[in-house]
Structure 1
């Protein structure tokens, strides 16, 4: 009897492990790119027959769909999972955090700049609610969970978009001005610079102290050595890689949407081609990984260094 019991328990355990591994393989998934123009028509069409294409509708719809994809992709939202297989996975949760970072940045830009005519103007009520909801911790599983907070934020974005495309008294606004676009691109540039530095440290490098940017009168709170060797711990290499992929995925969607909403501004500044080149570089960063793991070979060695390729 004991031998049969142990055999039965072994079979159950084997089936459970096989199921967990199958789910890990199925959930290890990065959503594909979506067409921002078609997406805007679909999202605004869901809001009613009175909806119409207006300035800002493509960018807002892209933000909504990116956040919705974060929650409803294959496997759902994994960053706050406490049970297998989600708790055993780290690539997708780091991808999710990259998408969430880009989502938070654009939601804050919408609240503070894009929806306001000037700094003294009143904030949009829905965006005022959406911004802090997106800032909720990404790994919270107790009530209110991360997913519930983000879904509430998406609801407020939909309400803002409904007023934006519906027109009428008290409608929402989206100001496609050069200064608003420049401010947002500066935030995105800082994010990309930070991710690039973290990715470049995968192979280890000696960095000079450039914190004061050569300004003889600049000061900082504590002294730093003139040279410093930085190297990413091997346990964080794939984390940084997938976080960068997630951020680049969301940023590409946002910039493609802004290319439409800010088309007159970009044309007047002769910057359309420059933005298209940035989008093309982000598209290259989304190419499928031809390896089951993130390789960290020497920069000019026999094996690839995927982190350095992503940093470029």
Structure 2
């Protein structure tokens, strides 16, 4: 028999069920919309920060920067002061620019960026090379001289892993390197300190320029490989042949992977940015040597080529058109500036070797 009483009592409950379902539906819809709004705002802010952090630092006046630093700290502008101060500023830019040091970031937007980390690595390469030159050549009178203690600490700091996040972080190691350079610079500018030296000699400068030429030559080859080309394999050792017999030389196709083209481009821009400042500092501290060798114009020519490579890139992406195609090829344009700078470095080294 049907329970009419219970059936009558359950009718309000059945009527309330659609209302409860409606509230659950609208509650879930509001939650989904709120979550989507938060995600959208997060992505918008992250993309905006990423765009802001991707802005490359502008060029700064080297000599004026060194003079301001010397006046602020009450130090003398001795030979070598401008070079060390510029090296510190270039290295400090890696840490103090918008977004700070990005190469070791583990969270967005730094995690999603690859152009700025490549730029940072390019700058870091030149910082490492000049720090090594300071330790090995500029601060020593001859090969048997003792190396400077602070420079001996600075070099390994800058050669630390550029992608270490913590324990220790790359930033902390590079800051220690800058601090070591500051201690050397303080002793160098103090007349009472006799154990800090800077030898502005042609042979010292020539040794560092050899490293510069090697870096620029490698960058030029990597940039030119953006379009792919057939190259003679010079890495293979040719066997000794009998008179009149032509040795066989293998060919290989060299081409930068498509996903690496923009990385190579921005690494080259980073190296060119750092090197243009360092050469301006060298022009100040090695002024007498360059004048005697009639090489001042050569240094300025290198700087001009490097600074020309820092023009803004108006395209939203690095284009990779064929050599004579319709689209531009930014890598080949950069390779042109780098190659001309490298040729000027070779000429400068020849001038320094003369007389």
Q: TM-score, normalised by structure 1?
A: 0.94
Instruction: Determine the structure 2 residue equivalent to 1:311.
Output: 335
Q: Is the radius of gyration larger for structure 1 or structure 2?
A: 2
CA distance in 2, matches of 1:255, 1:178: 14
RMSD across aligned positions (CA): 1.7
Instruction: Determine the structure 2 residue equivalent to 1:19.
Output: 45
| 3-state secondary structure, aligned to 2:230 | strand
Retained in 1: the 8 A contact 2:238–2:249? Answer: no
Alignment of 1:75-224 (within 5 A): 75-211=99-235
| 3-state secondary structure, aligned to 1:120 | coil
Instruction: Determine the structure 1 residue equivalent to 2:269.
Output: 245
Retained in 2: the 8 A contact 1:67–1:154? Answer: yes
Q: How many residues align?
A: 304
Retained in 1: the 8 A contact 2:222–2:256? Answer: yes
| 3-state secondary structure, aligned to 1:29 | coil
Q: Cα offset for 1:171?
A: 3.8
Per-residue displacement from partner, 1:78-137 (whole Å, max 9, x unpaired)?
000000000000000000000000000000000010000001101101000000000000
Per-residue displacement from partner, 1:18-44 (whole Å, max 9, x unpaired)?
111111111111101111111111222
CA distance in 2, matches of 1:168, 1:118: 22
Pick the aligned partner of 1:233 from 230, 254, 257. Answer: 257
Retained in 2: the 8 A contact 1:201–1:230? Answer: yes
Pick the aligned partner of 1:33 from 53, 59, 75. Answer: 59
CA distance in 2, matches of 1:265, 1:190: 23
Instruction: Determine the structure 1 residue equivalent to 2:89.
Output: 65
Distance change >3 Å, CA 169–CA 6, structure 1 → 2: closer
Instruction: Determine the structure 1 residue equivalent to 2:12.
Output: none
Segments of 5+ residues of structure 1 without an aligned counterpart are 218-223
Retained in 2: the 8 A contact 1:44–1:165? Answer: no
Retained in 2: the 8 A contact 1:44–1:162? Answer: no
Instruction: Determine the structure 2 residue equivalent to 1:220.
Output: none
Q: Cα offset for 1:276?
A: 0.8
Instruction: Determine the structure 1 residue equivalent to 2:16.
Output: none
CA distance in 2, matches of 1:167, 1:212: 54
Query: Are residue 293 (structure 1) and residue 317 (structure 2) matched?
Result: yes
| 3-state secondary structure, aligned to 2:133 | helix
Per-residue displacement from partner, 1:183-219 (whole Å, max 9, x unpaired)?
00010000000111110000001112344899979xx
Q: Cα offset for 1:169?
A: 3.3
Q: Which structure shows the bigger proportion of residues in helix conformation?
A: 2
Q: TM-score, normalised by structure 2?
A: 0.83
Pick the aligned partner of 2:78 from 54, 57, 81. Answer: 54
